[in-house]
Amino acid sequence: MQHSLKIIGKNIQFSFVTQHDAEFILSLRTDENYNKHLSDVTSDISKQVDWIINYKKREFEGDEYYFIIERKDNNEKIGTVRIYDFDFVNNSFCWGSWILNDNKTKLAALESAILIYDFCFNNLRFNRCHMDIRKGNIHVQKFHQRFGVQFVAETDQDIIGHYFKVDYVRLRKDFIKSL
C-alpha cells in the first residue's frame, strides 16, 4: 500500500494519520460533543502519539488504515475515520472512529461513507462490511439503515450490522446524486 495515499472526493479528502495529528485527534476524542459513543481515551497526548506509532506499523502491514478527513476548499481538518478488523476469511472489513466536527461540509458524512465504501470494496476488494454500532447511537444507526445496512444481531452494548458490496453498487448512483 502506498503510504502517502490521499483519497479524494468532491468536497473532502482523506490523508493517512501521522503523529502530527495526535493533538487534533485527541481534541475530537475528548470533546463531549463527539465522544459519547466512542471508547474511552485518556487526555495524555503522549499516549495518543504512542497509539499512532503502533498504528503506523499496522498500516504498513496493511492491517488497518486511519485517516484524517479534510475539507478540500481550505484543507481544514474536520474529522477522522478508521478501517480495521480485516476478516480475509469472510472478505469483510469494519470501519469506525468516525468523527466529524462542526466545521465539516454539509454532506461530509455521506461523502465520507461513499469514499470508505469505494476504497474498501474497489481498492481493497472486500465484498462485505461488518459493523457494531452502540445501541444509543440512534443517529448513526439511521444513517447506516439509509445506506442499506442489515442489522443482524445485538450484544449488550451494540447492534451488529452487515453491508454487502452488491447492495452498495446497486445504490451508489443515488448516493452520488445527493452530493
Tell me, what's the pLDDT at 2? 47
143 inside domain: yes
How much is the mean pLDDT over the chain?
A: 90
In a domain? residue 75: yes
CATH number of the domain at 159, please: 3.40.630.30
Q: According to the model, what pLDDT value does residue 1 have?
A: 46
Tell me the per-residue pLDDT of 7-40, one tens digit each, with 9 for 90 and over: 999 999 999 999 999 999 988 877 665 545 455 5
Sign of CA dihedral 116, 179, 105, 3: positive
Average pLDDT for 121-127: 97
N- to C-terminal Cα separation, the chain: 28
In a domain, 1, yes or no: no
Per the domain annotation, does 152 fall within a domain? yes
Domain count, the chain: 1
Q: Report the 10 Å Cβ neighbour count for 54.
A: 10
Q: Are strands 92-100 and 77-87 parallel, antiparallel or unpaired?
A: antiparallel
Q: Which residues of 25-53 are buried (b: 16+ CB within 10 A; e: fewer)?
A: bbebbeeeebeebbeeeeeeeeebbebbe
Which pTM was predicted? 0.91
**Triad 120, 166, 13: Cα angle to 5°:** 30
- Residue 71, domain extent: 6-178
Over residues 59-84, the pLDDT tens digits come to: 999 999 999 999 999 999 999 999 99
Unique residue bearing C-alpha cell 470494496: 121
